[in-house]
Structure 1
Amino acid sequence: MPFIRAEDLSGLIAAASDIALSVSRDGTILSVITDADDTGFGDLSRWQGRPVEDVLTVESIPKFQAVLERFLSGDPPDRPVELNHTDGRSPEFPVRYRVHAPGSDEMFFMLGRDLRSVAEAQQQLVQAQMSLEQGYEARREFDVRYRLLMRMTLDPILFVSVGRGRIKDLNDPAAALLGTDRESLIGAPFAEQFRDRRQEEFIEGLVNAALSETSSGVEVSARRSRKKIDIVPRILRAAGERIPICRIRATDDPERQLDELGPSLRGLYDKGADAVVFTAPTGVITSCNNAFLDLTDSVTLADVKGRSLSDYLSRGQVDLSVLIDNACKAGPMRIYATRISSDLGVSTAVEISTTRLDDRADGGLAFVLRDASRLETMRSPSPQGTDDANRSVMELVGSASLKEIVSETTDVIEKMCIETAVTLTRNNRVAAAEMLGLSRQSLYVKLRKYGLLNKDFDAE
């Protein structure tokens, strides 16, 4: 073989590899040869004279030790080995080495190929795989939530493909309303589920109804269940396709009647002549209509919200306690006469109806207040009373003196008023005395007089 000069050999090694190391039998780097045109490794001349293990990462040291042991045993490895280099100055980079022994036991060559491009490609592949797995998990989680939502939703809901006109998905209430099971309807033509409906015209009508701001839906007749059904569609776009989400319901559905009743109740609440107040269980105002603001000479809802309704009642907490106790224990209280005092000091006679909205402990209350001031002026007290009262009084004439007749009728009326007050206040003697305008001692005297002192009004 012709003789090869040292400088030519160095160039040959540099051309045949990206990086070449000559290593002594004790693992010390004798020289480093790199391609002069490749500056990606930085200055590796500082590696000379250092152990190879000093420029390797921790996981690569056992690999190099295995290579060195095989060289020392006279059996250099014939398969490449991948080592990761780092010396604290340059970034970590991988190299695939092939080991060559020149026939001397004192040193060997490690000819390496740069694997940075391969490592970057592998890293990108790993990141792409992780992104795919994350996307798959997110899609799977979304699919589980979607199916659980469809299963738990009581409203009949179905999805329709505009292009194909077929049912993409629906829940069990929708299938029951159409008169069959869910599995047989998925993929079936939507128009065929109803009488006298053509596919293209029907789907186009659904789309137009969904895009219209005034349309209340499409009324159809189910072919299997023979029920009259309202379809209320909404449009969404997914994967470049328009998909109507259809909420279907029978025309005689009570929920539909409630939906239609809602605007009427709202109009009555906003524009009605009677004042309406909603309160917490303790009587704190949470909402009211304009009629109540007019009754209390308040400007806005903020002026009354958060205040107790007792602030506006003539007898304050006594009236409020009577109203709440009767509504909670005896059911709706139809008429309770009292007076409302505004923030300006104006007093108005009212009749109050009270209803408990919920049987729970935290259920709210609704109060309807009607202005009774005009009724009071229109009422003219009859000097003779009712016909029954006239006859009862007339029967006493001749059998007793006028003084005795007046005294007896006065006692009857007084007893009735006391019984009513104590009953309304649930045997709260203090509240009853305040309601009647008596002192507590006077009330006890009259209760004892009419034999009502030990009467159980709570049981009544």
Structure 2
Amino acid sequence: MPGDRAKDMKARPDGVANRSYIDGLLSAACDLAVGIDGNGIVTSVAGASLGSSLQHWIGSPISDVLTVESRPKLDAALETFRKTGQIRRPVELNHEDGKTWEFPVRYDVYPGLQEGETLLLGRDLSLVAETQAQLVQAQMSLEQGYEARREFDARYRLLLRTVADPVVFVSVSDGRIKDLNDPAATLLGSSREDLVGAVFANEFTNRGREEFVEMLVNAAISENADELVAETRRDQSDISFEPQVFRASGERVLILRLGRHGGSSTAGDGAQAVRGDLGGLFANAADAMVITSATGTIQSANDAFLEMVDAAHFTDVKGRKLGEFLSRGQVDLNVLIENARRAGKMRFYSTKAINEYGAETSVEMSATLISKDPDAQIGFVIRDTSRIESMRRTQMHASEESSRNVMELVGSATLKEIVAETTDVVEKMCIETAVNLTRNNRVAAAEMLGLSRQSLYVKLRKYDLLSRDGSDKD
């Protein structure tokens, strides 16, 4: 057969036919074959998949169709080939055509058919490059997902560690503790490490695993479930549960907030937040008492408060802002909270309480900062003053004098002048009232009046009220 191939080569009439025959062989053997002369000029281009579309390379320097980083690699490979007649390994080059089309090719280097010619036989790596790009993208997505998961896990751990309430996560499928915080472990009389993975029902006396979990799930999905109480196995103390159920990764999980069981009242677990001998005072006091977070969110309330706002149960007000039950809303609440946080307490703040049906009741409020921790709580005592409201009058002698001056103007001044004087009287009365209610807190007074702080100072100076009480509290 080699002899027949030689005869065919000799039988061809000219070099053109011989070149076509060689190009056919190269097209079958590789994706791209490029012939270059000693000066780096492309002399021929052939190939099954790429050769037909790259004929315009012929006559151009090979460097013109290579990316910048590929040119030194080709020069080094050609220099090695001319010195040794071979290269150790194929060289991978990136071609660019028209500055918009870039594709990688892996070349082997061979001697050409003509003197001084070098033949580059290449395999198209576009599919490999695309696969590599997809793998890199997938790896980046995995890394991003992993970082997001780590961030979420860090937040979860921090929240579980810093929350003051005892919290336990229990798997519904097997009744085992998935996780819990240190307050919950202390309440159950053990350590967190020993309790993770333990059967939750075994931590209580006379509780079966399946029945106990089913009871907690039913309580979580029921709107009017009775309070759940169980006795701990280690110290025989009564524990109450606030269950909620959620689904994570196809598995149902119970999240339980635990608390020591105390006396029962309409306020329920509202009074439970107050410990020791003061619990009875809190629950049965004649005056309304409320404990809120540092932002005014109701955490506990007694029966007197529920009666004042016509709430049937503590759950109707729990988690709501105390400002929702005050006539001036958040303005009243901000004044009370700011003064409590600044001075530790505030007394005799007069406002009106609003019940669930919009009825108003005149009240007098006191606020006390319970602790100065980041998770500080504020206690409020609210007293109904509607019966003695007529006995209290705000001292506004200057305003009363102004009112008499206005009446004396009738007949001696135009209506426009009288209206202007009356407007000044009303404006002064309003400013004096706001300053008195906020105990000369200029920031709170400006917010209550809907003015900017600068505008309030201008009006205080106008009515000679700037030095009231001898100090500037803001």
Q: TM-score range by the shorter chain?
A: 0.5 to 0.7
Any residues of structure 2 matched to 1:136-285 within 5 Å, and which? 136-252=146-262, 256-257=270-271, 262=301, 264-271=303-310
Shift in alpha-carbon separation, 1:10–1:103, aligned structure 2, 3 A: closer
Any residues of structure 2 matched to 1:1-400 within 5 Å, and which? 2=6, 3-4=8-9, 5-35=18-48, 38=49, 43-102=53-112, 105-252=115-262, 256-257=270-271, 262=301, 264-271=303-310, 301=327, 355-358=366-369, 368-372=384-388
Distance of 2:40 and 2:301 partners within structure 1: 89
**Residue 242 of structure 1: how far off its partner (Å):** 0.2
Shift in alpha-carbon separation, 1:359–1:141, aligned structure 2, 3 A: closer
**Residue 136 of structure 1: how far off its partner (Å):** 1.2
- The letter of the residue matching 2:83 is S
Distance of 1:329 and 1:112 partners within structure 2: 82
Distance of 1:193 and 1:165 partners within structure 2: 11
- The letter of the residue matching 2:271 is Q
Shift in alpha-carbon separation, 1:233–1:113, aligned structure 2, 3 A: same
1:27–1:68: 8 Å Cα contact kept in structure 2? no
Distance of 2:221 and 2:148 partners within structure 1: 31
2:35–2:112: 8 Å Cα contact kept in structure 1? no
**Residue 193 of structure 1: how far off its partner (Å):** 0.4
Percent identity (aligned): 41
SS of equivalent to 1:370: coil
Equivalent position of 1:426 in the other structure: none
2:345–2:366: 8 Å Cα contact kept in structure 1? no
**Residue 231 of structure 1: how far off its partner (Å):** 1.3
2:345–2:368: 8 Å Cα contact kept in structure 1? no
Deviations 1:359-394 (A, max 9, x none): 99xx99967423248999xxxxxxxxxxxxxxxxxx
- The letter of the residue matching 1:15 is A
SS of equivalent to 2:169: strand
Distance of 2:214 and 2:258 partners within structure 1: 17
1:25–1:105: 8 Å Cα contact kept in structure 2? no
Equivalent position of 1:456 in the other structure: none
Q: TM-score, structure 2 length as denominator?
A: 0.59
Shift in alpha-carbon separation, 1:146–1:353, aligned structure 2, 3 A: closer
Shift in alpha-carbon separation, 1:41–1:220, aligned structure 2, 3 A: farther
1:175–1:182: 8 Å Cα contact kept in structure 2? yes
**Residue 26 of structure 1: how far off its partner (Å):** 1.4
Shift in alpha-carbon separation, 1:117–1:180, aligned structure 2, 3 A: same
Any residues of structure 2 matched to 1:423-442 within 5 Å, and which? none
SS of equivalent to 1:58: coil
Distance of 2:391 and 2:82 partners within structure 1: 120
**Residue 59 of structure 1: how far off its partner (Å):** 1.1
Deviations 1:167-218 (A, max 9, x none): 0110100000001111110100111000000111111111111111112542
**Residue 219 of structure 1: how far off its partner (Å):** 0.9
- The letter of the residue matching 1:175 is A
**Residue 25 of structure 1: how far off its partner (Å):** 1.3
**Residue 100 of structure 1: how far off its partner (Å):** 0.8
Deviations 1:223-269 (A, max 9, x none): 01211001111011011110000111101399652578637344333
Shift in alpha-carbon separation, 1:25–1:264, aligned structure 2, 3 A: same
2:245–2:252: 8 Å Cα contact kept in structure 1? yes
1:78–1:98: 8 Å Cα contact kept in structure 2? no
- Which runs of no fewer than 5 residues in structure 2 stay unpaired? 10-17, 274-282, 284-299, 312-322, 333-338, 353-360, 372-377, 393-474
Q: How many equivalent pairs are there?
A: 316
Shift in alpha-carbon separation, 1:19–1:183, aligned structure 2, 3 A: same
- Which runs of no fewer than 5 residues in structure 1 stay unpaired? 273-285, 290-300, 308-323, 341-349, 377-460
Q: For the aligned residues, what is the CA RMSD?
A: 3.8
2:112–2:119: 8 Å Cα contact kept in structure 1? yes
- The letter of the residue matching 2:169 is F
Name the larger-Rg structure. Answer: 1
Q: TM-score, structure 1 length as denominator?
A: 0.61
- The letter of the residue matching 2:222 is S
Equivalent position of 2:439 in the other structure: none
Shift in alpha-carbon separation, 1:372–1:171, aligned structure 2, 3 A: closer
